[in-house]
Amino acid sequence: MNRIIFALDVYDYNEALSLSRELSNDVFAIKVNWPLVMNNGISIVKEISRYSNVICDFKIADIDNTNRLITEKARENNAWGIITHSFTGRRSLKAVVSAAGDMKVFSLVSMSQESFIDNYTDDLVKMSMEENVYGLVAPGNRIDILRHIRSMSGDLKIIAPGIGAQGGGITDAIMAGADYVIIGRSIYSDPEPLKKVKSLNEILGDD
Q: Give the angle 51-31-57 at the CA atoms, nearest 5°.
A: 135
φ, ψ at 6 (rounded to 5°): -85, 120
Contact residues for 139 (Cβ-Cβ < 8 A; gap 6+): 110, 111, 112, 116, 145, 146, 160, 161, 162, 168
Known catalytic membership, residue 118: no
If the CB atoms of residues 2 and 65 are measured against ligand BMP, the closer one turns out to be: 2
Min CB(187)–ligand BMP separation in Å: 8
Residue 89 marked in a binding site: no
Min CB(112)–ligand BMP separation in Å: 4
- Quote the strand ranges of 34-117, DSSP E: 54-60, 81-85, 104-108
If the CB atoms of residues 77 and 141 are measured against ligand BMP, the closer one turns out to be: 141
Q: Which residues bind ligand BMP (CB under 6 A)?
A: 7, 9, 33, 57, 111-112, 137, 139, 161-162, 164-166, 182-186
If the CB atoms of residues 100 and 170 are measured against ligand BMP, the closer one turns out to be: 170
Min CB(106)–ligand BMP separation in Å: 9
Q: Which residue is nearest to ligand BMP (CB)?
A: 184
Out of 12, 26, 57, 198, the active site residue is 57
Known catalytic membership, residue 122: no
Residue 177 marked in a binding site: no
On the 0-12 / 13-18 / 19+ scale of CB atoms within 10 A, 199 is: exposed
| CA quadruple 36, 172, 152, 104: dihedral, nearest 10 | 30
Known catalytic membership, residue 62: yes
So which residues are the catalytic ones?
Answer: 57, 59, 62
